[in-house]
Amino acid sequence: MKQKLRAIRSRGTSAGNLQTAARTTATQRCINPSCGARFDINERIYVCSSCGGLLDVVQESTRDPEQLQTLWTRRLASFESRDRSGVWRYRELLPFADDAPIVSLAEGNTPIYDAPISAAYCGLHALNLKHQGCNPTGSFKDTGMTVAITQALILGAKTVVCASTGNTAASLAAYAARAKLQCAILVPRGQISHAKLAQSLDYGAAVLELDGNFDDAMRVIRELAEDESIYLVNSINPFRIEGQKTVAAELLHQRGWRIPDHVVVPGGNLGNSTALGKGFAELMDLGLIDRLPRLSVVQAEGAGPFANLFKSVAGSAGVSTALLSQHSTSDWSAWPALTPIEDPHTLATAIKIGAPVSWQKSLRAVLASGGTVLSVSEQEMADAKAIIGREGVGCEPASASTVAGIRRLVADGVIGPDEDVVAVLTGHVLKDTDYVIKYHQENLFSDGDVLADRRKVASTYRNPPTLVKATREAIIEGLRRHTSTQDTV
């Protein structure tokens, strides 16, 4: 079986084809420094079979950085479908042979917006928003899913599964449909947005609603994936991370390889921060960049186990270089274990996660880059979301944690007003319209355990609809009133 897989993976290898030869050297390696066990790239495992540690895909590559930049720029003008994908355009970074059976929906190619209103809100002179919500299914998950489903085909999987707060599910459902694979998604009942549920239903997935939260779903799905014919594509699967890491290349490519000082992402299960950190680190190893942007992660206060851990070790101002040398906190493997949150709460349902699977990998990336981890309140997230909306950009609630977090970091002096900052928006504004409408109609409540705990989120930047009579005068008056109430930003 393994031999057959190796044959598929190395098909197309020819003498002198450095590109393919380099990629076939990829293996999976346990992240624990005390273990470091290696596994064949096509072994269908999700964690180390010796010590249970998470796995990295690693490969040696000695490409010329300038040649790579030229090649990737040339592909922007190509009509070949793998070149049109913002993930497969950077395929030299991926562990596949040239003729891999790519399953693509032309993912990636997401815009970077200049965001002056959000910048002013944060106390910055400028701010870039990299909008991963502009992917085919409306979230960043597509950049990882194209790679994970391609690997599922190589492995001969029949059924692909995930646990999800909604976006992974929608993405998996779409890519599985493209690949004609059976697909089952496990979601916490009543805790994912209608839009995400609708997508998964429409793409034909078997939607299994669980009486429990995301962490329960994740536990059960990992047990299910012990069955050989079932392939798990949550971000514990290192191939998901491989796809998502290409966002680092696309982001830098779009900026003419100008390295930001800070890249800020929301944190849930912590696959995205892991992937971006891996992407930047590999680009530095290849010589395409000579320093890492500081990678920071923002969680919701009610679902912030990673932020709690970070604060307990590094303090609220994050890990400064001085702190690193004093307390040797730079070695992630020496950190205490993350304490899961039993019953996480946030209106940003995408990141309502109490036991993030990839926290060690994410910690490693944050520490290597000199970034930080923090959490923001429901109020901060809701207001930041409305501000991003006023840019004409919009995003889903979890994504707005970035702008809320940046505002905090600027106020705390961790980010300077002149620094070059990129916030990664992870989901589209239409992913959660219930939330948007409730905010603008002053009807948004945080989800406490019991009704009495629910607190109203103030609609600071509200824009409610106005009922008008069907007359010219009433409409002009409505417009006038609207203008006078929208000057607050």
Residues of this chain that interact with ligand F0G (CB under 6 A) are 139, 141, 164-168, 235, 266-272, 350-351, 396, 398-399, 426-427
Contact call for residues 373 and 297 (beta carbons, < 8 A): yes
Query: Please, what is the minimum distance in Å from the beta carbon of residue 438 to ligand F0G?
Result: 18
3-state helix, strand, coil in the chain (%, to 5): 45, 15, 40
Q: How far is the CB of 338 from ligand F0G (least distance, A)?
A: 13
Toward ligand F0G, which CB reaches closer, 72 or 439?
439
The residue among 288 and 425 lying less far from ligand F0G, judged by its C-beta, is 425
User: 79: number of CA atoms within 13 Å, CB side?
Assistant: 0
* Smallest separation, CB 69 to ligand F0G (Å): 28
Cα distances from 364 to residues 183, 235, 296, 443, 451, in angstroms, run 32, 16, 12, 40, 39
* Residue 100 or 376 with smaller CB distance to ligand F0G: 376
Q: Can you read off the two tokens belonging to residue 165?
A: 């707060």
Smallest gap, in angstroms, from Cβ of residue 425 to ligand F0G?
Answer: 8
C-beta closer to ligand F0G: residue 128 or 164: 164
- For ligand F0G, give the closer residue by CB, 267 or 405: 267
CB of 326 to ligand F0G, least distance (A): 29
Query: In a 3-state reduction of DSSP, which class is residue 474?
Result: helix
CA distance to 476, 478, 487, per residue, from 481 (Å): 9, 5, 11
Q: What is the 3 state secondary structure string of 282-338?
A: HHHHCCCCCCCCEEEEEEEHHHCHHHHHHHHHHCCCCCCHHHHHHHCCCCHHHCCCC
Give the shortest CB-161-to-ligand F0G separation in angstroms: 12
Backbone phi, then psi, for 275, in 5-degree steps?
A: -65, -45
Using the minimum distance from each CB to ligand F0G, give the nearer residue, 48 or 350.
350
Nearest approach, Cβ of residue 92 and ligand F0G (Å):
24
Residue 97, Cβ density class (10 Å: 0-12 exposed, 13-18 middle, ≥19 buried): buried
CA–CA distance, 103 with 85 (Å, rounded to integer) = 10
**Is the CB of 401 or the CB of 459 nearer to ligand F0G?**
401
Distance CA(476)–CA(483), nearest Å, equals 11
